[in-house]
Amino acid sequence: MAWHRQSIEIAGIAALLTIGIAACTGEPDGLGFAGNPDAVGVVTNVPSISGTWLLENTITSDSCASIDPQLSQSFVLRLSQVDTELQVELFDSCGALLAAGDGSVTPGGVLQTTASAGFDLSDTCGVTVDVAIAGTVDTAQDQLEGSVTLDFAPGATWGPDCDDTFPCRIEAMFVADQCPPADCSFATCGD
């Protein structure tokens, strides 16, 4: 009986070696592996959108009577990208940092970012702003396009100069061109 057990063990080892050799030589093993690296997955490239972009908005909805409309009409968007992850800085046309945050871009070119900041409208009226950008990457045109939402709320220095329009929201559609060729230089603005 000992020889029978040894025969079964040897047969089992031989079967495992056969499967292992078939897998290493690219022969089908009956388990769905044929040694083809293309069968493992699909390699996709994430669009590279690092850099500076001039973001031009067309306002579609505005409930913020106290906010200067120019604040929401154009921005300079600075993106730093590592793989699909983004760091975002949003500047007004005068070069003041409006908000900073993060986001992502998918291999299919879908862009999502969020950024937040607080700033003063006057000495006794401060607000916070949350900026959400959702869009797509058009690599053929070197453009981004989509929607931007600015949500304003009372901030840390909420006081008598603040009116009752807060919280409020501005929604817009945007097209962004990469700089250069677009001109992302800041205007000279007074205080």
Q: For residue 24, what pLDDT is reported? A: 44
Q: For residue 180, what pLDDT is reported? A: 86
What residue segments make up the domains of the chain, in order of their start?
2-39, 51-179
Per residue in 146-170, pLDDT (tens digit) is: 999 999 888 877 777 777 778 899 9
CATH 2.40.128.120 fits 51-179, yes or no: yes
pTM of the entire structure? 0.71
Q: How far apart are CA 105 and CA 46, in angstroms?
A: 7
**Contact call for residues 99 and 116 (beta carbons, < 8 A):** yes
CA distances from 89 to 20, 54, 154, 172 (A): 53, 12, 22, 18
CA distances from 86 to 12, 26, 36, 89, 125 (A): 53, 40, 34, 10, 31
Mean model confidence pLDDT for the chain:
78
Instruction: For residue 158, count CB atoms less than 10 angstroms from its CB and return exposed for 0-12, middle for 13-18, buried for 19 or more.
Output: middle
**Amino acid residing at 188:** T
